[in-house]
Structure 1
């Protein structure tokens, strides 16, 4: 069985307020993505997906370049179905790999890692299980890989939470360098 992607309905309103999104996942059905960037709170839930909550510490200074507002692991708390997960975002520097986000949940290592300007792959214990893409405004899409075992509910909760909270994709370093040099030449 191939697990495809289905489009999501996105965030309502403009600017940093509450922004409900709705992914229509062919494996997990409707997945609600409720991001309140100003409060630093993301809730992911659905009929077939356990509730994941990612919360930014109230005293953390929000960074506008990240939907959840920070890449500081000390300022973030993740729970899935009420159980804590350990989250470690990369620094988000020009190197694409620095945009990765790691989560250890239930003894499993998940990694969301950019692999194109607009997309990221979700890796579970070293094996790619899905590709995620988002627009940074509440729209998230998932392509579950057909050559691996059917994804678990927890896989979806973690994957959607990371994609909605940190966005997906990153420009390659060489492209950023070319743009910087071009800006200097002008």
Structure 2
């Protein structure tokens, strides 16, 4: 299935579309200063708008601090809960209502590689691709982050 990803990080816009896929759009609020560490420019849910085929949906990225789980992104589309959470250094796993749907990889350059589980729907694929493109995937384990922070404190 061909997926078109149009990401403009400086402008804060993302559009995922393709034949047979719903169109997913994620927008950063105008005037919000972009965070260079986040492909879309922010993890602040108050500064983000998510739509799926024009219908509003909820988006709630966590702050992204010490643990892998702190980089999770939750979305609710038509009452269905999706979660993208890092599962390794470079990959994140997408779930729908707790059920694994696939593993995605994106370095924040507007490209996403995905390995979908059987039964993943076009909506699952479009939304997962959008979340991975907007926020990137993967994270180091908490202990490595803590060790890196401690090493920076040592003169």
Q: Structure 1-normalised TM-score?
A: 0.80
Assess if the C-alpha contact under 8 Å between 1:80 and 1:157 holds in 2.
no
Question: 1:135-154 residue pairs with structure 2 within 5 A?
Answer: 135-146=107-118, 150-154=119-123
Flag the structure with larger Rg: 1
CA distance in 2, matches of 1:172, 1:51: 33
**CA-atom RMSD, angstroms?**
1.1
Q: Structure 2-normalised TM-score?
A: 0.95
Indicate the structure with greater strand content.
Answer: 1
The Cα offsets for residues 54-101 of structure 1, whole Å up to 9 and x where unpaired, read as 000002121111000001101100111111110000011121111000
The Cα offsets for residues 152-185 of structure 1, whole Å up to 9 and x where unpaired, read as 1111111000000000011111011222333344
Counterpart of 1:3 in structure 2 is: none
CA distance in 1, matches of 2:35, 2:44: 10
Runs (5+) with no aligned partner, structure 2: none
CA distance in 1, matches of 2:136, 2:92: 9
- Does residue 165 of structure 1 match 2:134? yes
Displacement after TM superposition at 1:50 (Å):
1.1
Runs (5+) with no aligned partner, structure 1: 1-28
- Does residue 182 of structure 1 match 2:151? yes
